[in-house]
Amino acid sequence: MTINDIVKETIQTLNAQKTPLTPHNYQVTFCRIANKYGFSIEECHTKEKFVKRLNETLQNDVGKYSVNTLDELLIYLVSSLNRLTLGNSGKQKLVTMTLIRHLLEHIARFPDKKSRELALASLERIDRLSDLNSFEIITEKWEALLSENQMNYLPRLQQMARSKSSDLAQLLDQIETLLVKSESNEKLSLMVETVIASLTPSLAQTLDDEIATLSYTLQNSPELLYKNEIHTELKKLIEKRIFIDKKEVKERILSLDEILSEVSSKIVNLIDNTNVSYEKVREIKTELQSIDKNSGDFDAIKQKLLKIADTLEFETKQLGEIMTREDRVIVQMQEKIKRLESALKKAKQESKVDFLTGLVSKRGLDEELNRVDKSYRRYQIAYSIGFFDIDHFKNINDTYGHEAGDLILKQLGKLFLELKRDVDIVGRYGGEEFLAILPNTPLEGAQVFAEKIRSRVESFRFVYKGAEVPVTISAGVASCTEFDNQKALIEEADRRLYEAKRNGRNQIRPPLSVKVTA
């Protein structure tokens, strides 16, 4: 059992008893439950602490009445003050001072710094029996504090709770409900992404439009996941997807059967381009014969493969001698093919990577931009882009040389790779200009990323041959949700870049209102 458990049980008990959630009711119930579980809470013994501070006469009076709580002690002291006559001025002053001390000790626990500090200062003056002038100063400070508008927290709480209630407990409950609802919507949004992603992969593409429609509906109203109608639609979509995929598999098996028939009829022509030996063909035939015959639709494929193996066995006996003579030529051709494939693979790789910066090339950027734009048009997965351009790069080349310029481009590529997310794509768009593609990122997120790059470049020490080269960068960002097509998006981001250039460089457009640290 913990304090949090006691708090929870206290609230549940008050709700079950339909008792108003007032500070007094809460304290009484909380202390009773804490005492039941053997907890000694200092706040629950505050009454006893204050009774001990009373003089002997007042302590005896308190003992005669059923004073169980701090509020009851306060009521007793107020009643005692009301019963005093002018002849009892000494006793009246004592009781009044005790009441004031009690009130100040309460205020000293308020969650307001100014009230708490002033209450502690007032208690210190009382303890030291300061002169009348000191008490007048304290009184003026209390009047000044109470006149401040910022002491009234009620309008701020009403704004947060979206309510006009003046009950503090009710306002806190309403704020808590709003926070829970907000957190629930965030979790539902993540769940929507998972549901849509689980439906998308498939052999067949027939239901893409239905998935896109459901995706759009759930992304705008994630709370619909709780609706039985959505559950039914999801179940129906999954069942239909499975049915279509099964049909697709069968169609592909039939297509494969036709292909194998063609292969069997043309095996004699293909045999010249293979180095399969007679013994190897016999091994393949043996393995095929060992396949389980209860393989469903694939049994027809097995029979076709056996037929091919028989053909291979017959033809290899006839052509074995010819293939032996051609072995050397075949090996040479295979080696040449491997070299060509390796060169082709390397060429493709290099065509998508900028050799100087290590970032994506212009060609790679075009492919990635088309890919994320297609996802946005079909599944409403938004993205943003940002153009970056090194300020006064021509002057840097003219002053320090092109070798220094290349060094700066290379180092800037490393900074981009360091600050980007794994899903982000950053490449060299041309010369000293770079393009960042930021999937699933709104305009403000793109502004934050651009500001991080700008700030990091500004503070980074670019050194060439012992000399520090000052470098800054400008940027223009835009979101796909602002435009109807990709071309308009690129043109606006480029326009914003050159707006940043015209306005003095070393800045981003649109500017970010919140300061960001790289």
Would you call 134 helix, strand, or coil by DSSP?
helix
Q: Are residues 60 and 144 in the same domain?
A: yes
The burial class, CB within 10 Å (0-12 / 13-18 / 19+), for 224 is: middle
Would you call 435 helix, strand, or coil by DSSP?
strand
pLDDT for residue 372:
95
Range of the domain at 190: 168-258
Side-chain half-sphere exposure of 344, counting CA atoms within 13 A: 6
Q: Are residues 417 and 458 in the same domain?
A: yes
Would you call 102 helix, strand, or coil by DSSP?
helix
Q: Are residues 185 and 216 in the same domain?
A: yes
Long-range contacts made by residues 231-235, C-beta under 8 angstroms, separation at least 24?
A: 234/195, 234/199
Q: 92: Cβ–Cβ under 8 A, 6 or more apart, which residues? A: 81, 84
Q: Are residues 69 and 126 in the same domain?
A: yes
pLDDT for residue 280:
56
% helix, strand, coil for the chain, step of 5: 70, 5, 20
Q: Are residues 420 and 340 in the same domain?
A: no
Structural domains counted in the chain: 4
Q: Of the residues 223, 258, 293, which one is the last residue of a structural domain?
A: 258
- Order the strands of the 508-509 sheet from edge to edge: 425-430, 433-439, 383-390, 473-479, 508-509
Q: Are residues 11 and 131 in the same domain?
A: yes
Per the domain annotation, does 517 fall within a domain? no
Per the domain annotation, does 28 fall within a domain? yes
Per the domain annotation, does 354 fall within a domain? no
Q: Are residues 324 and 401 in the same domain?
A: no
- Whether 416 and 484 have beta carbons less than 8 Å apart is answered as no
Q: Are residues 374 and 502 in the same domain?
A: yes
- Whether 271 and 322 have beta carbons less than 8 Å apart is answered as no
Peptide bond preceding 23 in cis form (omega within 30 of 0): no
Where residue 491 sits, what CATH number does that domain have? 3.30.70.270
Q: Of the residues 237, 258, 279, which one is the last residue of a structural domain?
A: 258
Closest CA to 211 of 223, 197, 225, 194: 197
Per the domain annotation, does 515 fall within a domain? no
Concatenating the DSSP letter of every residue in 181-245 gives HHHHHHHHHHHHHHHHHHHS--S--TTHHHHHHHHHHHHH-GGGGG-HHHHHHHHHHHHHHHHHH
pLDDT for residue 89:
57
Q: Of the residues 132, 155, 178, which one is the last residue of a structural domain?
A: 155
Q: Are residues 344 and 393 in the same domain?
A: no
**The tokens 């092109």 sit on which residue?**
402
- Whether 454 and 446 have beta carbons less than 8 Å apart is answered as no
Per the domain annotation, does 503 fall within a domain? yes
From CA 172, how far away is CA 157, in angstroms rounded?
8
Q: How many residues does the chain have?
A: 518
18: left (phi over 0), alpha (psi -120 to 50) or beta: left
504: left (phi over 0), alpha (psi -120 to 50) or beta: left
Triad 252, 255, 261: Cα angle to 5°: 145
Closest CA to 244 of 234, 256, 252: 252
Per the domain annotation, does 52 fall within a domain? yes
Q: Are residues 122 and 251 in the same domain?
A: no
pLDDT for residue 28:
80
Give the end-to-end CA distance of the chain in Å, rounded to a whole number. 45
pLDDT for residue 87:
47
- Whether 175 and 160 have beta carbons less than 8 Å apart is answered as yes
Closest CA to 307 of 253, 261, 252: 261
pLDDT for residue 456:
96
296: left (phi over 0), alpha (psi -120 to 50) or beta: left
pLDDT for residue 289:
60
**The tokens 């109807």 sit on which residue?**
484
CA 407 and chain centroid, separation: 35
DSSP assigned state of 1: -
**The tokens 């609230």 sit on which residue?**
11
Q: Are residues 226 and 282 in the same domain?
A: no
- Per-residue pLDDT tens listing for the chain (518 residues): 788 888 888 888 988 888 877 777 777 888 888 888 888 777 777 777 777 777 777 777 777 766 777 777 777 777 776 665 444 555 566 667 677 777 777 777 766 677 778 788 887 777 665 555 666 777 777 777 776 654 466 677 777 778 887 776 677 777 777 766 666 666 677 777 777 766 665 555 555 677 777 777 877 787 777 788 887 887 887 777 777 767 766 776 666 566 556 555 555 454 455 555 556 556 656 655 665 545 555 555 656 666 666 666 666 666 666 666 667 777 777 777 777 766 656 655 556 899 899 999 999 999 999 999 999 999 999 999 999 999 999 999 999 999 999 999 999 999 999 999 999 999 999 999 999 999 999 999 999 999 999 999 999 999 999 999 999 999 999 999 999 999 999 999 999 999 999 999 999 999 987 666 55
pLDDT for residue 202:
55
Q: Are residues 319 and 453 in the same domain?
A: no
